[in-house]
């Protein structure tokens, strides 16, 4: 009986690369040889030059100074990113926590190399919007997470101040709900100008010109109860010369209900249409 034909070196290398792809860690040449079928096995010393010349194979440092080199098909940066996202999927950790936990998966690299790898991947994930900073409440340390921070983590002191204010104002008939409503109104007023400018920009992409102020207010999901804040935001944009306003030429002939659909400056002027000024409109793609 003829002995089985010996596999060609390229076939042996293919088996070696496949073993590395399936591995969950870097392997030495000896470990690679043990993981492939006997007909395709070769001397680890003969395998190493092939591994070093193959672009699919990534060299990894030995676990210790006296240990043999290791190989894998995954980059250290990829491993650091994968471990980071797994660690931070449902919790927030400090930079020192991340260095310690991710560093365990980067055996063989020096302390400085591990630190640089983890820091660069954290920065890249933050820039890509895949990680979020959790500002430290009080004297705690800055943390990172794959989920945005919850506002409830930061309002302990504010809640106490609100409780004191509510107790103080209760004697004059102002309820806690009224205080919260006033705060919501302040937030709405602060955000409205940017929301208005953004909605006009979107509208003008498909229809040049301007948009009726009544329709704009409805598109933003605002009710008549929000009209005063809406009017002030529109006028603020107008004073900043970010928008133009078309004025109604005979507001005296309008019914009260019709006037409610328009923006007013409180001095008898009513505005019907809003649009971006020419310089801003030209920048719309």
Whole-prediction pTM: 0.56
* 1 lies in some domain: no
Q: What is the pLDDT of residue 36?
A: 80
Judgement on whether residues 66 and 81 belong to the same structural domain of the protein? no
- Report whether pLDDT(183) > 60: yes
pLDDT of residue 283: 40
Give residue 229's pLDDT: 82
Enclosing domain of residue 15: 9-72
Give the pLDDT of residue 13. Answer: 85
CATH number of the CATH domain containing 189: 1.10.10
Reading the block at residue 160, the tokens are: 């106490």
Per-residue model confidence (pLDDT) at position 280 = 46
Q: Is residue 2 part of a domain?
A: no
Query: Could you say which of 117, 151, 185 is where a domain stops?
Result: 151
Same-domain status, 221 and 276 = yes
Average pLDDT of the chain to the nearest whole number: 84
Mean pLDDT across 203-221: 80
Burial group, residue 281, by CB count within 10 angstroms (0-12, 13-18, 19+): middle
State whether 269 and 206 are in the same domain.
yes
Instruction: State the average pLDDT over residues 262-276.
Output: 90
Q: Residue by residue, what is the 3-state secondary structure of the chain?
A: CCCCCCCCHHHHHHHHHHHHHHCCCCECHHHHHHCCCHHHCCCHHHHHHHHHHCCCCEEECCCCCCCCCEEECCCHHHHHHHHHHHHCCCCCEEHHHHHHHHHCCCCCCCHHHHHHHHHHHHHHHHHCCCCEEECCCCCCCCEEECCCCCHHHHCHHHHHHHHHHHHHHHCCCCCHHHHHHHHHHHHHHHHHHHHHHHHHHHHHHHCCCCEEHHHHHHHCCCCHHHHHHHHHHHHHHHHCCCEEEEECCCHHHCCHHHHCCCEECCCCCEEEEEEECHHHHCCCC
Evaluate whether 51 touches 71 at the Cβ level (below 8 Å): yes
> What percent of the chain has a predicted confidence (pLDDT) above 70?
89
Most confident range (mean pLDDT) of 14-18, 35-39, 217-221 is 14-18
Residues 217 and 146 in one domain: no
Q: Evaluate if residue 9 carries a pLDDT over 70.
A: no
Residues 114 and 207 occupy one common structural domain:
no
130 and 48: one domain? no
More confident residue, 79 or 46: 79
> Same structural domain for residues 226 and 145?
no
Instruction: Say whether pLDDT at 155 is over 70.
Output: yes
The pLDDT value given to residue 166? 84
pLDDT of residue 189: 60
- Domain final residue pick, 119, 151, 183: 151
Q: Are residues 230 and 250 in the same domain?
A: yes
What is the reported pLDDT for 122?
A: 95
Least confident of 102-106, 166-170, 212-216, 281-285: 281-285
- Per-residue pLDDT for 185 more than 80? no
Mean pLDDT confidence for 134-145 = 83
Write out pLDDT tens, residues 237-250. Answer: 888 888 889 999 99
- What's the CATH number where 93 sits? 1.10.10.10
In the chain, the number of structural domains is 3
Q: Looking at the structure, tell me whether residues 145 and 203 fall in a common domain.
A: no
Mean pLDDT, to the nearest integer, of 37-47?
Answer: 82
Say yes or no: 202 and 109 in one domain: no
The alpha carbon of residue 14 and the mean position of all alpha carbons in its chain are separated, in whole angstroms, by 39
Is 82 part of a structural domain of the chain? yes
Predicted pLDDT of residue 282: 41
Q: Does residue 162 fall inside a structural domain?
A: no
The top-scoring range by mean pLDDT among 39-53, 89-103, 145-159 is: 89-103
With cut-offs at 50, 70 and 90, classify the pLDDT of residue 284.
Answer: very low
> Comparing 50-64, 165-179, 200-214, which segment has the lowest mean pLDDT?
200-214
273, 254: one domain: yes
Domain-located, residue 167: no
271 within some domain: yes
Q: Sign (positive/negative) of CA torsion 266, 270, 271, 277? A: negative
Does residue 45 lie within any of the structural domains?
Answer: yes
> Does 157 map to a domain?
no
Q: Which of 21, 48, 72 is the last residue of a domain?
A: 72
Residues 68 and 86 reside in one and the same domain: no
């Amino acid at each position: 009986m003829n002995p089985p034909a010996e596999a060609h070196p390229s076939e042996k290398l293919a088996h070696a690369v496949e073993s590395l792809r399936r591995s969950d860690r870097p392997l030495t040449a000896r470990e690679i040889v043990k993981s492939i079928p006997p007909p395709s096995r070769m001397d680890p010393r003969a395998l190493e030059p092939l591994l070093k010349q193959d672009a699919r194979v990534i060299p990894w440092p030995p676990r210790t100074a006296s240990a043999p080199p290791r190989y894998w098909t995954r980059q250290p940066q990829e491993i650091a990113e994968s471990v980071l996202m797994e660690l931070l999927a449902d919790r927030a950790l400090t930079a020192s926590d991340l260095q310690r936990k991710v560093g365990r998966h980067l055996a063989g690299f020096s302390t400085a190399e591990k630190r640089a790898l983890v820091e660069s991947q954290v920065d890249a994930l933050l820039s890509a919007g895949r990680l979020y900073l959790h500002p430290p409440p009080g004297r705690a340390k800055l943390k990172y997470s794959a989920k945005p921070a919850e506002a409830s983590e930061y309002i302990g002191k504010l809640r106490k101040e609100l409780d004191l204010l509510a107790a103080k104002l209760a004697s004059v008939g102002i309820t806690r709900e009224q205080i919260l409503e006033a705060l919501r109104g302040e937030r709405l007023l602060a955000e409205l100008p940017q929301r208005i400018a953004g909605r006009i920009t979107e509208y003008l992409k498909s229809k040049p010109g301007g948009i009726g102020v009544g329709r704009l207010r409805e598109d933003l999901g605002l009710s008549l109860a929000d009209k005063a804040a809406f009017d002030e935001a529109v006028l603020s944009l107008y004073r900043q010369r970010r928008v133009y306003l078309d004025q109604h030429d005979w507001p005296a002939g309008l019914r009260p209900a019709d006037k409610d659909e328009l923006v007013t400056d409180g001095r008898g002027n009513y505005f019907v249409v809003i649009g971006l000024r020419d310089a801003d409109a030209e920048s719309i793609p």
